[in-house]
Amino acid sequence: MALLQLDIVTIWFVRKVFLPLLILSLCLLVIKVQLEAWRCNKIAEAHGYLEGKLVPGNRGVGKACICQKKKMPDGTVDKNVKLIINLD
């Protein structure tokens, strides 16, 4: 009977405590990455670039924003220009 009680408590703990915390942490992680990507795009636009790509900090080089496709004053786009901005 004690083993049955332990299983009920374990199942309750996993369903009511562990899984909601796991789901919440994953949602917060996704929101954080999306906000950082949005911030990178805004930085790229502020510097006159059309595209900003976020490089996560776990790639060994630190968190960075790579700005590509520079808008030129005459209206053309230079695809060969890149600007790397460190976000750490």
Taking the C-alpha atoms of residue 74 and residue 48, their distance in angstroms, rounded to an integer, is: 13
DSSP letter at 73 equals T
Q: What is the pLDDT of residue 26?
A: 97
At 48, give phi and psi (nearest 5°): 90, 20
* CA distances for 68 relative to 15, 20, 24, 54, 58, angstroms: 46, 39, 34, 11, 21
- Considering the entire predicted model, what is its pTM? 0.74
Task: Let me know: does 34 contact 54? Beta carbons within 8 Å.
Answer: no
Per-residue pLDDT of the chain (88 residues; tens, 9 = 90+): 455 566 888 888 888 899 999 999 999 999 999 999 999 999 999 999 999 999 887 767 678 999 999 998 898 998 899 999 988 7
